């Protein structure tokens, strides 16, 4: 194992209102990372403290565009004193720190998303809304760009995975969070219409996932892979139970994944992301000379 230090960073805003598991995030990460950096937008109650947790309160930016994400994440990144750094939102949990030995320090590496849905043992897949990977792991400092992504140049190597608890929170809080997020994306012209907002007029209904995200499907996750702190607090993440789901890596799961990966929608999505990665890498190379 490398003797280089590793830290995790994030920002938070109104975590109680939006039902973020901040207490678990701070406790868990303080135990597995060398440092934890958290920026709070305005005064926030900090539910867990440790010697290796760095907290900084800042004046919050406007909530109506993507700078809302970029500003806090960059501030938090700058607080870390570690060699390697990993960006994880306060509803994202990594099972274990990736093996960073022999990685290229000039590149940003990606983690695989695991989108939990309704409870800790169900994952939602098969729609472009649920990103497959995200650039999160880097050495030294990086810009935060777009809607809060770590800048390149990028490697296509997946070095680990993390569990996203976004859709295993209180349904009322989930509706509030997604309304604000979708409106921010509309303001940034990420979506052409506000059609998706109509699904969030009332409390979020977990049973309507196929209506919300056409083509999506659910699988049962291997419980051994889920971070222990989530299992220990499973009652906080149990909002809807699904029956008779295909198991992870079963033939049905493999065939559905293959079908989605070969679909026009997914190929178009992958093509646009490859173009983006190449473009960002080219921009970085130009700056280096």
Beta strands in 118-191 (DSSP E): 119-125, 133-139, 144-145, 149-150, 154-167
Identify the pLDDT of residue 147. Answer: 82
Identify the pLDDT of residue 288. Answer: 54
Question: Is residue 245 packed enough to be buried (19+ CB in 10 Å), middle (13-18) or exposed (0-12)?
Answer: middle
Identify the pLDDT of residue 212. Answer: 84
pLDDT tens track for 208-259 = 999 888 889 999 999 899 999 999 999 999 999 999 999 988 888 888 777 7
3-state secondary structure of 215: coil
Give residue limits of the domains in the chain.
86-289
User: What is the block-wise mean pLDDT of the chain (289 residues), using blocks of 10 residues?
Assistant: 86 94 98 98 94 95 85 96 97 95 94 95 88 91 90 92 95 88 74 59 84 90 93 96 91 79 63 63 56
Please count the other Cβ atoms lying within 10 Å of the Cβ belonging to residue 283. Answer: 13
d(CA 289, CA 283): 10
d(CA 164, CA 168): 9
CA distances from 134 to 29, 131, 156, 264, 268 (A): 19, 7, 10, 21, 17
Which residue is listed with tokens 């868990």?
A: 28
Identify the pLDDT of residue 215. Answer: 86
Identify the pLDDT of residue 192. Answer: 46
Identify the pLDDT of residue 68. Answer: 87
């Amino acid at each position: 194992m490398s003797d280089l230090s590793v830290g995790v960073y994030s920002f938070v805003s109104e975590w109680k209102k939006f039902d973020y598991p901040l207490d678990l995030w701070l406790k868990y990460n303080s135990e597995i990372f060398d440092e934890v950096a958290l920026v709070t937008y305005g005064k926030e109650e900090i539910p867990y403290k440790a010697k290796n947790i760095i907290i900084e309160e800042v004046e919050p930016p406007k909530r109506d565009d993507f700078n809302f994400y970029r500003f806090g994440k960059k501030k938090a990144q700058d607080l870390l004193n570690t060699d390697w750094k990993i960006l994880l939102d306060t509803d994202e949990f990594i099972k274990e720190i990736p093996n960073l030995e022999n990685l290229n320090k000039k590149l940003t590496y990606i983690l695989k998303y695991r989108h939990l849905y309704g409870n800790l043992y169900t994952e939602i897949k098969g729609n472009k809304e649920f990103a497959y990977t995200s650039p999160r792991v880097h050495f030294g400092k990086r810009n935060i760009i777009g809607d809060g992504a770590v800048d390149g140049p990028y490697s296509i190597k997946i070095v680990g995975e993390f569990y996203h608890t976004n859709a295993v929170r209180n349904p009322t809080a989930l509706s509030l969070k997604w309304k604000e997020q979708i409106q921010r994306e509309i303001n940034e012209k990420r979506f052409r219409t506000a059609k998706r907002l109509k699904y969030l007029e009332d409390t979020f209904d977990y049973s309507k996932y196929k209506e919300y995200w056409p083509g999506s499907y659910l699988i049962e996750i291997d419980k051994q892979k889920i971070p222990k702190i989530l299992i220990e607090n499973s009652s906080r993440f149990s909002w809807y139970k699904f029956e008779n789901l295909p198991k992870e890596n079963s033939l049905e799961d493999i065939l559905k994944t293959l079908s989605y990966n070969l679909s026009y929608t997914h190929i178009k999505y992958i093509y646009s992301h490859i173009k983006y990665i190449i473009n960002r890498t080219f921009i970085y190379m130009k700056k280096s000379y």
